[in-house]
């Protein structure tokens, strides 16, 4: 599964989950992590949708395509509870506290996406998913945190961590909660002129997270 584009796609992120999503979508790409001062980019921005798009755009700019050879993709995902941003846990105790606060409640997951075309023009967008968290027992939270899985994730959890069953249901894009909504990402790639070998459609929108989502993508060959 390869893309038709003759130009490289650069992923300006060190997230293994975003890389896995692109890989499973059949795209050829190169990982080039961006070093961005997130606090400086977000300073003074009260609108979270604009903030995550600004941060995704900053990641694209930090990587800096060579102008004629590369498309660059950047993304940033945040978890919002009670109008507060929950970032990655700073410690195991912090992760436990986050998971306890999320328990039994709804929260928003918002991902900002940015794509730079071959001329350096950047197009941005965002996707929001509403997630209802399960009420996890103290022992489940302890086991989950001890596994190490929550420690590198915004909000301290992964919707894909099915062994710990953190999510009761969600309304929106499943892959957005994982870290890269392909439904909107492919739109931006197309707008920017990146050619796709096949149509890519997210599956698993607005369903219960009960194991019914077997595959995150639906593919259709693009012969045009």
Active site residue 171: no
Which of these, 55, 59, 9, lies nearest to 192 by C-alpha position? Answer: 9
| No. of helices (H) and no. of strands (E), the chain | 7, 9
Q: Which of 39, 76, 83, 165 is catalytic?
A: 76
Cα separation, 23 vs 26, whole angstroms? 5
Q: In this structure, are residues 58 and 64 in contact, taking their beta carbons and an 8 Å threshold? A: no
- 119 CB-contact burial (10 Å; exposed 0-12 / middle 13-18 / buried 19+): exposed
Please identify every residue annotated as catalytic. Answer: 76
């Amino acid at each position: 599964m390869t893309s038709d584009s003759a130009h490289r796609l650069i992923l300006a992120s060190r997230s293994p989950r975003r890389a896995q999503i692109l890989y499973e979508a059949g795209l050829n790409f190169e990982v080039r992590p961006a070093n961005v001062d997130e606090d400086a980019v977000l300073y003074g921005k009260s609108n979270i949708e604009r903030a995550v798009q600004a941060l995704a755009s900053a990641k694209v700019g930090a990587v800096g395509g060579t102008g004629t050879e590369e498309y660059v993709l950047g993304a940033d995902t945040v978890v919002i509870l009670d109008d507060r941003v929950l970032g990655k846990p700073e410690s195991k105790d912090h992760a436990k506290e986050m998971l306890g606060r999320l328990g039994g409640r709804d929260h928003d997951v918002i991902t900002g996406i940015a794509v730079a075309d071959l001329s350096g023009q950047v197009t941005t967008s965002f996707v929001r998913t509403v997630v209802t968290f399960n009420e996890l027992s103290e022992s489940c939270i302890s086991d989950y945190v001890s596994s190490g899985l929550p420690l590198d994730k915004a909000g301290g959890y992964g919707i894909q961590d099915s062994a710990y069953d953190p999510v009761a249901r969600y309304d929106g894009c499943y892959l957005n909660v994982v870290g890269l909504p392909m439904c909107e990402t492919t739109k931006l790639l197309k707008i920017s002129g990146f050619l796709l070998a096949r149509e890519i459609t997210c599956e698993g929108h607005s369903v219960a997270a009960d194991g019914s989502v077997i595959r995150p993508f639906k593919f259709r060959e693009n012969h045009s």
